[in-house]
Amino acid sequence: MTPYFNISLRITIADKYQFYVAESIHIENSTEKISDTAKVTLPREFKQVRQDDQNTSLAGERLLDFIKVGDKIKIELGYDGDLQSEFEGYITKVGAEIPIELECEDEMYQLKKMKPVNKLFKNVALKEVVQFLAPGYNVNCKYEVKTGKIAFDNVTPYNALLDLKNKGYPFRFFFRDKTLMVHMNIDPDIQQQHQFNLNRNVRKGGDLKYETKEDRKFWIKAVSKQVGTSKEVTYEFGDKGESERKLDCPSGLNKNELKIWAENYYKKLNYDGYGGGFDSWCYPRTKAGDSANLTDPNYPNKHRDGVYYINEVTIDVNQSEGIKRNNKLTFKIK
C-alpha cells in the first residue's frame, strides 16, 4: 500500500504576508543559468492571509494592495507540515490578470539594481573581480587564476558577470543563499549526494536514457586566452564529424595544459551510463550542484548503477502532479 502525503506549502512575501495555497508553483534552479527563477500563480480568491502572525481577512481587499515588485519572497514546500525552503528571492513582476502571477528572481536581482560600475582591471585574481562586483556578499571561488585585462564601462554588476560568462571565460556565477558561487561545470564542487532507485523513488516521465560510449562521441575544441594579448591557444580532440563542443579554459594555458583539459572533458562526456532527466517527488530535496546515485534493480550485475552530476532541478507544484522535481544529468562522476 502506497502511503499518502498531504502537500504543504508556505509563501512568505515582504517578511509579513503568508499564503498557504497556490494554483501552481514553478521553480528553476540551475548551475548553467546566472539566476534561479520562480513563478507563482495565486488562486482567484483569497479569504484570509496570515499577516504578522495574525489571520487577516481579505474581504473587499485587492491582492495587489499587498504585493509589489521588489518585495522579498520565500517559497517553502513539503509534506504534512514538514516545510523547507526551496526558493528565496524577490518579486520582479506582478501580473495584472486574474489569477495573479508572480515572477521572481533570486539574489541576482539585487546585482541588477546596483549602480553601474566603471572599472579597468589589469590581470588580477578572478575572486578580486567578483568581490568588487558583489560588495557585501560572500564569494566562493577556489580558482587561483588571473583574468587578464578586463574593462567594465557603465554596466551593472549583474551585466558585468554576464559579460564574463559570455566572453569565453569558463566560469559560472550563481547564488546559493547569500553566497555568490564561482564554478566550472567541468570541475564542480559536489554539494550533496542523493539515493535514487529506478523502481522506487523515480517517477514515470522524463527523458532519462542509458547510452554507451559508442553513442556518446564528441569533437572537443579547447580554447585558452593568453594574458595581456588578444591571442588564443587551441587544442582539438575527440571524434571528428561528431557533435562539436567548445571548451573555454582558464587564461594562460599552453598547448600541453590544454590537452589535459580537453581529454579530461571528453572523458566526462564519453561514458557508459544515463543521461537526460528524470522526475522525482519532493524528497529527496535535490538542488543543482548535487549528485544522484542511481541504482537500477532490473540489472543485478549493477553495470547500470552510477553517480551523476545534477546541473539543473525544476520543481513544479500543482493539483494534478503534486510536488514534482525534474533532475537533469550532465555527466557521470563514477
pLDDT in tens, 174-183: 998 889 999 8
Quick one: pLDDT at residue 287? 94
Eight-state DSSP code of residue 112: H
Question: Looking at the domain assignment, is residue 238 inside a domain?
Answer: no
Residue 201 shares a structural domain with residue 307: yes
Supply the CATH number for residue 64's domain.
2.40.10
The CATH number of residue 283's host domain is: 2.30.300.10
Say if residue 67 is in the same domain as residue 93: yes
pLDDT (0 to 100) of residue 53: 66
Check whether residue 130 and residue 80 sit in a common domain.
Answer: no
Cβ-Cβ contacts under 8 Å for 3 (sequence gap 6 or more): none
Contacts of 220 (CB under 8 A, 6+ apart): 236, 237, 238, 244, 245, 247, 262, 265, 266
Indicate whether 222 belongs to any domain. no
Q: What integer pLDDT is reported at residue 136 of this predicted model?
A: 92
245 part of a folded domain? no
Tens of pLDDT, residue by residue over 239-257, are: 887 788 888 887 778 899 8
* pLDDT of amino acid 110: 96
Q: Is there a domain that residue 266 lies in?
A: no
Give per-residue pLDDT as tens, 48-73.
666 666 666 665 567 777 789 999 99
Torsion of CA 297, 298, 300, 303, to 10 degrees: -90
Give the structural domain span for 157: 111-169
In the chain, which residues have pLDDT < 50? 1-2
Domain finish residue from 106, 129, 152: 106
Q: 160 and 197 share a domain?
A: no
Angle, CA 320 vertex, CA 319 and CA 325 arms, to 5°: 90
Q: 59, 85, 106 — which closes off a domain?
A: 106
